[in-house]
Amino acid sequence: MLIDSHCHVLSSEYDNPDEIIKNAFLRGVNKIIINGYDLESSKEAVMLANRYDNVYAAVGVGPEEVNEVQEEVILEISCLADNKKVVAIGEIGLDYYWTDETKEKQKDVFAKMLKIAKEKKLPVIVHNREATKDVLEMLKDAKATGIMHCFSGSTDTAKELIKMGFLIGVGGVVTFKNAKKLVNVVKEISIDNISLETDSPYLTPEPYRGTKNDPSKVILVAEKIASLKGIDKSEVINKTGVAVASKFDL
């Protein structure tokens, strides 16, 4: 089963998200998880998920959107999480790359998102940039499980996350020329612990880097992983599909 476990197919990014979704299914994608990153995008992800059998939603407030977050927003996310097509709390996490000025606010919102996940017994889809120590600590405290989206860490960190029950999210970056570190991680860990993703509209795989990404391109990620691990493309598709479908109850 070919699954794009992380994308943002939303009207803020595309003129016609429905067209993007239908095209992905026509091109062999079986299931898509659309991730919100704030209240508006989370609402739209749920709406789209309810329109298609094989589209699911993750709802949450991400680290870049924490400044305006009030208690009502947290409550609304919690209500959205009760929708039957919501399979995860995401995209949530910490990002100290651009600024760590909002560090405390980010941690506060992340903790509240992890609490919702725990209450609703949902896995999480986590964004981490330059914040590995804090992210791991908070995930462990919350006993959370799910996907570490767009993994960019070391093999040791990947193995630690796998022990905690996380899948390692691998997307278009693995096809880039400078992806040595990620290539090594992919070679070192089992295919059963990897989830495929696009992060559309971002991080378009080669040879389309520089153009707008969409979930149909997840096949290019599967092909690259197959060649790196010396296994068949169908094995990558089947095993990552089983891993994601069982983790998120798809």
- HSE-up of residue 228 (Cα within 13 Å, Cβ side): 24
Pairing of strands 86-95, 55-59: parallel
CA angle 102, 165, 236 (to 5 degrees): 105
What are the strands, taking DSSP E only, across the chain? 3-7, 31-35, 55-59, 86-95, 124-129, 146-148, 167-170, 194-196
**Residue 60 CB: number of other CB atoms within 10 A?**
35
**3-state DSSP call for residue 235?**
helix
Q: Which two tokens stand for residue 211?
A: 């153009």
Distance of CA 7 to the CA centre of its chain: 7
User: Whose CA is closest to 219, among 82, 68, 25, 9?
Assistant: 25
- The residue (of 143 and 212) whose beta carbon lies closer to Ni ion is 212
- The residue (of 40 and 192) whose beta carbon lies closer to Ni ion is 40
Tell me the closest approach of the beta carbon of residue 248 to Ni ion, in angstroms: 16
- The residue (of 152 and 238) whose beta carbon lies closer to Ni ion is 152
Tell me the closest approach of the beta carbon of residue 20 to Ni ion, in angstroms: 15
- The residue (of 65 and 91) whose beta carbon lies closer to Ni ion is 91
Residues within the interface to Ni ion (CB under 5 A): 91, 199
- The residue (of 199 and 214) whose beta carbon lies closer to Ni ion is 199
Residue pair 80/45 in contact by the 8 Å Cβ criterion: no
User: Whose CA is closest to 214, among 21, 3, 11?
Assistant: 21
Tell me the closest approach of the beta carbon of residue 227 to Ni ion, in angstroms: 25
Tell me the closest approach of the beta carbon of residue 197 to Ni ion, in angstroms: 8
Q: Which residue is nearest to Ni ion (CB)?
A: 199
Tell me the closest approach of the beta carbon of residue 231 to Ni ion, in angstroms: 27
- The residue (of 75 and 97) whose beta carbon lies closer to Ni ion is 97
**Residue 238 CB: number of other CB atoms within 10 A?**
14
- The residue (of 91 and 214) whose beta carbon lies closer to Ni ion is 91
Pairing of strands 3-7, 55-59: unpaired
Tell me the closest approach of the beta carbon of residue 62 to Ni ion, in angstroms: 8
Tell me the closest approach of the beta carbon of residue 230 to Ni ion, in angstroms: 29
